Structure 1
Amino acid sequence: MADDTTNQTPDTCSHNCGSCSASCGERTAPSKLAPNSVSSFKKVIGVVSGKGGVGKTSVTCLLASELMRAGKKVGIMDADVTGPSIPKAFGAKGPLCADQNGMNPGIGAEGVEIISTNLLLPQDDMPVAWRGPVVTGILTQFFNQVNWGDLDYLLIDMPPGTSDTLLTVFQQMPLDGIVTVSAPQELVGMIVGKAVNLAQEMGVSVLGLVENMAYFECDECHKRHFIFGEPQGEEVAKKYNIPAYATLPMDSAVAALVDAGNIPAYDVKGALKPIIDALEALPEHVEGDAAAE
């Protein structure tokens, strides 16, 4: 009998994939999105967390700031569509304008390029309550209908958890890998594992782990206090074979600079160097890679 499953997807295929030479995923894998005609990305990096409240967006901002400090041209796609906060951290303002090629991104402190729903709203405190398909459509437009120009890095700030947005980005965008963010709690370590395992199942490389809010350092005695318990990032990184690991402290200066729209002024004092080194070691896209994957 002829095989009639060629056009089926992994979700609908009912035959025994082990009986043929290719899996359903291999036979039906969709092509990745490509940027518009005036844009290119050398590297595309997702920043993820398995849960909210661990400072994923702050880490995205600090990674962007460190890369710009190293002379890289950086853009941030704020994929946390219903809870956007990237523009505030960099002082970027809307409304955005467009031309025949697409929408021009907002420009924040130190020249970072940003696309975010908050740059499209008439007031930045307006709620965004959109269902999954609408969010998916917006993410696609953020990626391939924005005039990014030629970027060294596009960082994608994901919403927390393993939702539709994460699946959309993993499946449709040419990710070179992800950086995952945690806090020093056993529960958070377990949830990091969920995000890491999902990435591995979908063939996305996990490049590094940042353990945020790992300690508080007293200004007077310079002793480190572990507010949320002993750091576990190194142990979690080893458990899930994550090649690079870094820690960041609790520091009120981060919040103050975010409120001032000037997060690039924060000095991480080399704490993110292992993650930056891992990103720099990645090969760059060549023209046409994104469309061909």
Structure 2
Amino acid sequence: MKTKKKMTVGRAALYMIVYIAALFWIFPVIWMLVSSLKPYGTPVSILSKVLTGVFSLDNYTVVAKKAPIIKWIFNSASVAIAVTIGTLMLTSLAAYAISKLKFKGRTAIFLLITAGMMVPIESIIIPLYQEMAELKLLNTYVGLMCPSLAAPIGVLIMKRCYDGIPDELIEAAVLDGANAFERWWNICIPVSKSSMAAVGIFTFTNSWNNFLWPFLSITSEKMMTLPVGIPQFQGANLSEFTLPMTASVIASVPAIIVFLIFQKQIIQGIAMTGIKG
């Protein structure tokens, strides 16, 4: 009985800590949402002014007129979806080749790919920029997406999944006359849906939040993504905060919707890969 009581008290304390942490996390989001509904010029840094008085949707109309935010959302979504699909194809094919195809040097290739996880993008940003400039891909959607297609962590996750597929199953498909592509498509893809979901969610999230490369490679305002466009809009409205808050709310809605729809897969992906943060 004493043990059960201690466990109950401990669990209650844990829940209390979790709820307090959740409150600290969600409070700025609520503040941002409420501030976006206040009339232009309201001092949003004063809590009493934010929670009282008149509320209006006029800021959303003003933001839509002053900045091409819908176009930025479309750009971010298009780039994130294309990068996710391309990354899933490349990482799964690479992982299949390394895991199930027998050829010399595959271990060295796998080590080279995983070593890429230790190279920060900031260390190669200058040669990457020069390469894209030589290929005339700056300020293009292709140049915006290509550097994000290389995902060593995706190859690592997919290879670990494919390693669990019995070689006898692959050999049986070979005897039935299936080529390498058919074996990958008909055997490996169906059993790796959870791993592909994890890779896809992380890839989409990283692409949606990517700032550095879009900031350097895109100069046209109409081609900007949300992480680049929103700070510029905020910089043009430093003296007034309701409009930047409104723009931030609009930018946050798609990401929140994706999280609510795929929260189970996101949690499973974090547990599967051991990635935190």
TM-score in terms of structure 1 length: 0.24
- Relative CO higher for 1 or 2, CA cutoff 8 Å, sep ≥ 6? 2
Task: Determine which structure has the larger strand proportion and give its number.
Answer: 1
TM-score in terms of structure 2 length: 0.25
Q: Which has the larger radius of gyration?
A: 2
Task: Determine which structure has the larger helix proportion and give its number.
Answer: 2
